[in-house]
Amino acid sequence: MYNPKSLLADEFIDHQEILDTLAYADANKDNKELIESLLEKARPRWINGQLNCTGLTHREASVLLACEDPALNEKMFKLAEEIKKAFYGNRIVLFAPLYLSNYCINGCVYCPYHSINKNIPRKKLNQEEVKRQVIALQDMGHKRLALEAGEDPFHNPIEYILECIKTIYSIKHKNGAIRRVNVNIAATTVENYRKLKEAGIGTYILFQETYHKESYLKLHPFGPKHDYNYHTEAMDRAMEGGIDDVGLGVLFGLELYRYEFAGLLMHAEHLEAVHGVGPHTISVPRIKKADDIDPSVFDNGISDDIFAKLIALIRISVPYTGMIISTRESQEVRARALHLGISQISGASRTSVGGYDEPERPHDTEQFDVSDQRTLDEVIAWLMDMGFIPSFCTACYRAGRTGDRFMSLCKTGQIQNCCHPNALMTLKEFLVDYASEQTRKKGDAMIAREIPTIPNEKVRSALVKYLERIEGGERDFRF
């Protein structure tokens, strides 16, 4: 029985509810009046200076996904961009993944780290190697990382992850510092989530891979990850352990995308219903080629057009969430996605264990092929050419604006009063410390254009002074 307030995976991700939702969507995919009303319902509105944008339910959004009318689909794309601008303006947050270890005891058939793959060399970073990776990332200009590791209680125990986090936060190199560490590791216990919280992590991220339980069990034939319920209920344990911000995601291509879309939105609704806080982020990876993995054997791949529509409808349905797209996708796909809802991207990523301190990109321990292989400086310049402000801001997490405190500001649009000037200051830091001459010229021109758009005179005046101090060598100002 479907129950979004239940803590049981089989009840808040109810198979029959998804089937009924898909049937409802099919029955109404040509119902233009209904679709127009849903688009109107989802439209952002400013009332007494506060943003009002309620999103859509999984069933409502599934109707839009089933719609095949080109004119209506174009309206969806335009609405997604309107919502994205209302919540996040023209800012794009940047991060990099750091793979700590590819030791894994699971049997995930879509991941080259699965334990029976004898082709891939196994590697685990020691603390000195972690330090070298972090310094290399700091020298690029990165301020936030997403830690990745395979599931292996012997090689990658929670103590190892905690030690790595401590090492990362301790490294101050020239003007560089990692100000926020997000963590993407296997589902674990409430006690271990408490330890991660105490270590000062930002968001805990865990991809569901697929919400279709029968498919999930086949795709994870052995190992701890085989337990669908334990995996699916991980976010509830994380929140019980005190982690305010969690990130969802499915691996599109493993199962039928309409099923996954409904399940993903149901998970977001569940978190909102139980904890009062929906997902801080939603990621949209697609299965890609890697060592030992041929994506063509999975027969649920989706086209770039369907992928774009999924991104747009996630933005429309869960308007407040941060949306992430990685370097799995090409420059062209990422450019389109930025206009449809994406608010965070990785840059200059290496998906091997280590590798950031090597002149050539290593491929022997990559988790997946990287499509977008540009440098961070090139990505920054590209974003600015499209009118986006590259942001390395981590202010909310360090100021305690997380969980329900962040959501209360985000959902009313008030967070922009902090995010906009903070983005400009972190961009200025990048320009002074790391940018090429050409990128610096573009960035300084962008900052000059953006300063007058800050509505609050006191904030605008303070911003100008902080920017001057950054130019003079000071760092890490924030509103």
User: Do 306 and 263 lie in a common domain?
Assistant: yes
Alpha-carbon distance of 125 to 103, in angstroms, equals 11
Taking residues 409-436, report their average pLDDT. Answer: 91
Q: Is the pLDDT of residue 268 over 90?
A: yes
User: Where among 82, 112, 130 does a domain terminate?
Assistant: 82
C-alpha to C-alpha distances, 131 to 80, 166, 204, nearest whole angstrom: 40, 11, 22
> What pLDDT digit, counting tens, does each position of 345-384 carry?
999 999 889 889 887 766 666 665 677 889 999 999 999 9
Q: Is residue 382 part of a domain?
A: no
400-425 mean pLDDT: 85
**How far apart are the two ends of the chain, measured CA to CA in Å?**
46
Q: Name residue 201's amino acid.
A: I
> Any idea how long the chain is?
479
Does residue 127 lie within any of the structural domains? yes
Residue 385 domain-assigned (yes or no): no
CATH number at residue 130: 3.20.20.70
Please state which of the ranges 54-68, 101-115, 399-413, 421-435 shows the lowest mean pLDDT. 399-413
Task: Flag whether 286 is in a domain.
Answer: yes
pLDDT at 298 over 70: no
Closest by CA to 149, choosing from 119, 194, 111, 93, is: 111
pLDDT attached to residue 413: 80
**Sequence-separated contacts (24+) of 28-32 with Cβ below 8 Å:** 28/63, 28/66, 29/63, 29/66, 29/67, 29/68, 30/67, 30/69, 31/63, 32/69, 32/72
- Whether residue 159 is found in the same domain as residue 303: yes
Q: What is the mean pLDDT of residues 44-50?
A: 91
Cβ–Cβ under 8 Å, residues 479 and 421: yes
Q: CA-based diameter of the chain, in Å? A: 63
Which of 42-51, 145-154, 402-411 shows the lowest per-residue confidence on average (mean pLDDT)?
402-411
In-domain check, residue 402: no
The closest alpha carbon to 287, from 111, 136, 457, belongs to: 111
| pTM, to two decimals | 0.94
Is residue 91 domain-shared with residue 172, that is, in the same domain?
yes
Q: Do residues 61 and 91 share a domain?
A: no
Q: Are residues 285 and 421 in the same domain?
A: no
- Residue ranges of alpha helices (H) inside 122-256 are 127-140, 158-170, 190-198, 213-219, 228-232, 234-240
CB atoms within 10 A of CB 438: 10
User: Do residues 328 and 287 share a domain?
Assistant: yes
∠ CA 245-257-31, nearest 5°, is 105
pLDDT at 367: 61
Asked if 143 and 253 sit in the same domain, the reply is yes
**Does one domain contain both 250 and 280?**
yes
Q: What is the three-class DSSP state of 251?
A: coil
237 and 128 together in one domain: yes
- Residue 67 belongs to a domain: yes
Domain that holds residue 72: 9-82
Count: domains in the chain: 3
Residues 54, 112: one domain? Answer: no
Residue 365 has a pLDDT of 60
Which are the contacts of 325, defined by CB distance < 8 A and separation ≥ 6?
283, 284, 311, 333, 334, 337, 342, 344, 345
Indicate whether 181 and 198 sit together in one domain: yes
Question: How high is the mean pLDDT of the chain?
Answer: 94
Q: Which residue has the higher pLDDT, 112 or 389?
A: 389
Domain assignment present for residue 352? The answer is yes
pLDDT above 90: percentage of residues in the chain: 82
Residues 67 and 106 in one domain: no
- The residue from 46, 63, 82 where one domain ends is 82
**Between 37 and 253, the higher pLDDT residue:** 37
| Main-chain dihedrals φ then ψ at residue 113, nearest 5 degrees | -80, -5
Segments in 365-456 forming alpha helices (H)? 376-385, 395-398, 403-411, 416-433, 437-450
Strand partners, 52: 45
Q: For residue 294, name the pLDDT band (cuts at 50, 70, 90).
A: low
The yes-or-no verdict on residue 290 having pLDDT over 60 is no
pLDDT of residue 342: 98
pLDDT score, position 353: 93
Residue 386 lies in a domain: no
SS3 label, residue 148: strand
Instruction: State mean pLDDT over 123-133.
Output: 97
Write out the H or E segment, with its range, that includes residue 262.
helix 257-275
Choosing from 55, 82, 109, the residue where a domain stops is 82
Structure tokens at 254: 């493993």
Q: What percent of the chain has pLDDT over 70?
A: 96
Lowest mean pLDDT among 52-61, 104-113, 383-392: 104-113
